[in-house]
Structure 1
Amino acid sequence: MKPAPFDYYAPRDLGEALDVLAEAGEHGKVLAGGQSLIPLLNMRLAAPERLVDINRIASLEPFEVTPDGVRIGALARHSQVERSEGIAAVQPLLRQALRLVAHPVIRNRGTVVGSLVHADPAAELPAVLALLGGSVRLARAGGVRDVPAGEFFTGPLESALEPGELAVSAHFPRLPERTGSSFVEVARRHGDYALAGVAAVVTVDDDLRVSEARVVCVGVGPVPLTADVSGWCERRPASTVDWAAVARAVQDRTEPEADIHATAEYRRHLVGVLAVRALTEAARHAL
């Protein structure tokens, strides 16, 4: 299939892009990596009147490692972030997640911020942002606002991005010292969207007791499902925590739906299995 007709714009600076988006309102769409948008256009599931290609706006490209985390620009590709040793040193969960995203050819074009805006509840990067308590910076003609992850994802393929706004960057906070992370999932084929996935971060104190543990589940709800399970760890040494019991507590919070790929019961079962793996691995990395 071919997309419906649209007007194409390729601005070279952010101000011009915001002006076009302001004029287009709800009839405008932004093209960055295009790995989600182009199929939607071709299937006519999206039919914007104006397509704003931001790939020529150099200021949106870089990523920056700061003392409090990583800020990733709207044109930073999955593969660039995945390969960055500086980012991996500050926020290893990003690399752990990106290795699970689709295939190399898609990661070479797809963008981190684009994946966040697409807001697929089965995608890895929205889950990472939610787990870390990150934020997305949205710009429009005349202003900028930072939206926390907990408010950004509003439903399946829905976000807090408003007509006329452009997501210019995302911030992923640095993990505390003595914190480990892990991201595991099950898909029908490598590179497919996960039937279910779980990411975890575990922090231990100087006595190697668990001081904080959090998880996020993908593919089992309309938005990434986060859970603070620190209380279930009872500040025990990481090596003695009953991670299976903690995983059951995570399972109980999920309400997955059945589809052609898996039953709700199977997805809930996967959450339990994957939560044990993710928490165990994150705890090991924390020691």
Structure 2
Amino acid sequence: MKVLQIGDLTCKVGGSADENWQLLDRCKKKHWFFHLTDFPSCYVVLECEKEPSREDKYRCAEVCVENSKQKRSKQVKVDATLCANVVKSDEVGECEYKNEKKVKVIVVREVKASPAGGGEASSEDLPGHPQARPRDPTRGGACSVVGEHMTVRKHASLGCALVSLQDVEERNRLLAISEVLVGCVKVKLQPQVDKATGEEVPNDIFATWGRQVERDTPLPEEDLLRALERLCMVNLAGTEESAAASGPVVESAVVPVFAK
């Protein structure tokens, strides 16, 4: 766990799922919580007795981005809210908000490559989302559906899913596509990385479309499974045709797009 100074205040950064939960266990209700809006990230907690200044919030948002895989990205959104508004999910290291309307979003435009960070940020107060799905404590942190080629385990609110395939080669073909449209939701496909070792999990894919998209347009896990299963069938058919025509398998460069 990292401990930093933001002005006169102490800022703590979780380095693992367990440390994220430790931060929630130890924080006070008046402390402030920061987490990437659309991607998994470390938890950042600013220990304060009153609402921090805009500058201190910005710096905490930058710290959150700097300690994530999005540190080289631009226009990264970071959630900011009181720790009193954060509750643990059923999955270790994951959380949800009691009231989405109390969450403010800070947009970190760019984190400069310097020890001090020095990123530029702007605040964006999001209005309430009437279509946002309320937290359902009976649902749990994740829902699983099983198909012919894979299992999709979707988180209830984070806008992401773990896709576990039976065949490693099929997993690699899906990763080569990198993006698929399911209905009106654009889903990015990335390698799933083991947090302990930092290595890719051979049969797994991390699918993400973002927390904000999930709030506004929830993507059912069944729809994601159906789209990926159809993509597997297209890949399989193309492989068989190539093998019959020329012997060696030649991968197609076509990127299919699926609608509901």
Fold agreement, TM-score > 0.5 = no
Instruction: Tell me which protein shows more helix as a share of its residues.
Output: 1
TM-score range, shorter chain: under 0.3
Instruction: Tell me which protein shows more strand as a share of its residues.
Output: 2
Higher relative contact order (CA 8 A, sep 6+): 1
Q: TM-score, normalised by structure 1?
A: 0.25
